Chains A and B, each alone.
Chain A
């Protein structure tokens, strides 16, 4: 027998304790409680010399308990029971993950990475299976399992080299967790395909920077016997300076473009310069800004943008760095959407008794959409749909009514204020429905009794913090009785149940009908804090929804496109055709969605500039099996070939300490019972003696 921690055997010397205890015989073990103990001195215990050891069986039990505990702590194991491990005669299921993210653009990395994959392919045997995955923002299957199997044995290595020769590193994010998880799924499919037990191995070839996303690996269930090998590739230059997009700053002095220039921890070149340029012509805008940054430092640089350059695509170039992949930032200032509010009603802009006065003040200063109010003008026939908003606060003549209706049907929004019973007829004609009849709510001071917060008109107030409309009152509002088959939807009702806010579709546009006027003589709605958010929400809808960002990371264009299909054209190719393929290279692009075309900029992901190496412990903390795990039950039918394991492994397998602890526990139970019996017997004898 051998021991993993033999020094614990010294604990067996504690056996002397029970022996001494059994040598000393006390007259009695009964306890007496007494109050005046401070006047008492201890009496010397008596030694019974006639019978040196009391209760020898009890002593034996106690000695065994101490001995068993000492043995258990020494962690024994048997040499003759040496098991063997499964040898690498099993076929391999290999998944190679090749990092194709932006950081692999660094000098020397890509060739080294391709070489590692190529070397791996050379080591594969005829029964081994192989899958090659490319990892970036998403996962690309470069060589599928089926393709590998279909390729003749002698051509498999060439297949890998041919695929690698066509590959280039991309500009996306380093989402290694997604790629590795996909790799584990590939193992499963390979296992099903092979219909046999294989050893699962994954080789991740990357520069393993801290900017890599690996959090998704936490909690990932790894198959039994799997192994992940991290193949690190080293760049030619360890240092890197980067320029990162921060945002636009709008102030009284004009528009400013802000970027952060940062140095990596191992940078050696400290003299850097950044320059704002016109992205179309590459002409410099303003002066070169020179910086001196030590390793690990960063600095924010603000470029004032001249008014004539605001609408142009811009770029900021960093020079003085050896690695160029993250030395350019592309920028496009979002063009504010313009809406012309056409007000029908003949009211003056400073007439406090009518809605125009409040509309003028509510829309002043909006950045997006910007609203320009005109009164009673005829609509421009060439205006784009969504660029006009009609507010009808007075009766329309038939021509005006038709003009508004046509614009609404093309996609514009409109609002009719029922400030007079005759306005009900105007609204009905716009909606082209009959049987709309004016009604007056029963209460003179009406309130909103029911609001549909699912409706886009009120969804902005859906949070319980903002859904209290009880302080808003309407004085003698006007309502309408709708026919049963109406296409209009009631978004809010007065407290007597009559419609207060109605939304009706007209072609591609929408008409909102408001029960009452917008003035202080008609209620306190225009003075409430909910008026402007409600109005802005309505105008945003009219302009085509919330403003979409004009700048995004490569591979992260979902928000930019708002879930709609788009066509792209690069700035560098102004006469080229729009293509549906989403670009994967940083730069400025023209995006066409429907009838709208706008400039957008795609950036190198910010995380790509974080090139600090990720320590191997991070992977271990995430539970990634960096060392081969022994194959257990599943591989038991394979004949073991002798190869001794180390003592800790043997001990861990045999776990003799468990049996020893169990034995000690049983002995302890036996000792307790025996002590109890002896104690009772002693009490009985004492009573008999008394």
Chain B
């Protein structure tokens, strides 16, 4: 997979995007918009799946013999499928309760779903195989990476399903993914990563050690960064339901301090495992995020090539 180095001049306004109710249409808008803004085809360098015929020779598996051809021309040919595809990708989407927070009229879950759909649509257009895993405390829905008609629709159906709303256990989910997807893949994790790093650090290490190319997209609401939100009230934990009295004016400084410390710890943990991380605010245009993802991938590949040459 390669990406263009040119960025679209202006992204799609998230407010306008989320006014579109249909998830597929949202994904199409983002991807088509991205393509129209690019000057170079993102398909460059991609090979397509192909098949070949070759004559049967003794010892070949008869299951692959083209019987129709044999009937037609009396020649024994083997119909060989090129199984290799460009990319095998598994998108992990956090559907826990914490993702239901949103201060701008749409939630982090909406944003993550749209981003997942967009990325899946983009890859699907390139005939890459894409899978989907939805998790909260466990992976509750899993669609293995595949390319076939209707697969994208199936993914959309899963993404559009209302989340059960349980607490996040990112570590358990990653362990499950490692078991469910043994083939080497690009694993894209879409989550807010607000749970303590120690809870999922080991699982991430296992996932990375299984030679998966793990990418993390931390989806945050702007209010979660600066706490410019709410009023002095009973604040309820959206995930576990605990309640405390919070005056944001009083609590803001301490909150920012702890939040920044968490972010530093998060970055360090991801970097330690070789995982690229990008933060996506829910106010950020989705096509920018997608482009950033693709560019990060291109940079990573070129880095990998250079390392190989050296």
Residues of A within 8 A of B (CB): 26-45
Contact = CB atoms under 8 A, between A and B. Distances in A.
B243 to A, nearest CB: 8
Contact of B234 (A30, A36, A44): A30
B258 interface: yes
Given A26-B245, A42-B246, A43-B246, A35 B194 contact: yes
A30 B194 contact: no
Contacts of B235: 31-34, 37, 40
Contacts of A27: 232-233, 247
Interface in B211-270: 221, 224, 229-239, 242-247, 250-251, 254-255, 258-259, 262
A505 B234 CA distance: 97
A679 to B, nearest CB: 14
Contacts of A28: 231-234
B43 to A, nearest CB: 39
Interface string B93-110: 000011111000000100
A42 B233 contact: no
Contact of B245 (A38, A39, A45): A45
Contacts of B233: 27-32
A690 to B, nearest CB: 10
Given A28-B233, A31-B233, A38 B238 contact: no
A34 B250 contact: no
30 contacts: A29-B234, A30-B231, A30-B233, A30-B234, A31-B234, A31-B235, A31-B236, A32-B234, A34-B229, A34-B235, A34-B237, A35-B97, A35-B99, A35-B101, A35-B192, A35-B238, A35-B239, A36-B255, A36-B259, A37-B244, A39-B259, A40-B244, A40-B251, A40-B254, A41-B244, A41-B254, A42-B244, A43-B232, A43-B245, A43-B246
Question: Which one of A27, A31, A34, A44 has the greatest number of beta carbons of chain B within 10 Å?
Answer: A34
Interface of B: 97-101, 108, 192, 194, 196, 221, 224, 229-239, 242-247, 250-251, 254-255, 258-259, 262
B267 to A, nearest CB: 16
Contacts of B238: 33-35, 37
Contacts of B97: 35
9 closest cross-chain pairs (CB), A and B: A35-B101, A42-B244, A37-B237, A43-B247, A35-B98, A39-B258, A32-B230, A30-B233, A33-B238
A29 to B, nearest CB: 7
B103 to A, nearest CB: 9
A41 B251 CA distance: 7
A32 B245 contact: no
B25 to A, nearest CB: 28
Given A36-B98, A39-B262, 14 more contacts: A26-B245, A27-B247, A30-B233, A31-B234, A34-B229, A35-B99, A35-B192, A35-B194, A35-B224, A37-B235, A40-B244, A40-B246, A40-B254, A41-B251
B194 A33 contact: no
A43 B237 contact: no
Contacts of A35: 97-101, 108, 192, 194, 221, 224, 237-239
Given A29-B234, A34-B101, A34-B235, A40 B255 contact: yes
Contacts of A37: 235-239, 242, 244
A411 B192 CA distance: 100
Contacts of A29: 233-234
Contacts, number: 88
B236 A34 contact: yes
Contacts of B245: 26, 42-45
B246 A32 contact: yes
Question: Which one of A38, A41, A45 has the greatest number of beta carbons of chain B within 10 Å?
Answer: A38
A32 B255 contact: no
A33 B99 CA distance: 12
Nearest to B99: A35
A206 B97 CA distance: 74
B101 A33 contact: yes
A543 B240 CA distance: 84
B252 to A, nearest CB: 10
A32 B236 contact: yes
A1 to B, nearest CB: 42
Contacts of A32: 230-231, 233-236, 246
Given A27-B232, A28-B231, A31-B233, A36 B246 contact: no
A261 B221 CA distance: 89
Contacts of B234: 28-32
Contacts of A34: 101, 229-230, 235-238
B234 to A, nearest CB: 5
Contacts of A31: 233-236, 243
A209 B255 CA distance: 81
Contacts of A44: 245
Nearest to B257: A39
B230 to A, nearest CB: 4
Question: Which one of B221, B239, B262 has the greatest number of beta carbons of chain A within 10 Å?
Answer: B239
A626 to B, nearest CB: 56
A112 to B, nearest CB: 74
B227 to A, nearest CB: 8
A29 B232 CA distance: 9
B193 to A, nearest CB: 11
A43 B259 contact: no
A196 B120 CA distance: 94
A40 B262 CA distance: 13
A32 B254 CA distance: 18
A524 to B, nearest CB: 56
Contacts of A45: 245
A27 to B, nearest CB: 5
A192 B262 CA distance: 92
Nearest to A686: B231
Nearest to B259: A39
A40 B232 CA distance: 13
Contacts of B98: 35-36
A26 B245 CA distance: 9
A30 B234 CA distance: 6
B194 A36 contact: yes
Nearest to B230: A32
Contacts of A40: 235, 244, 246, 251, 254-255
A67 B280 CA distance: 57
A663 to B, nearest CB: 32
A299 B294 CA distance: 93
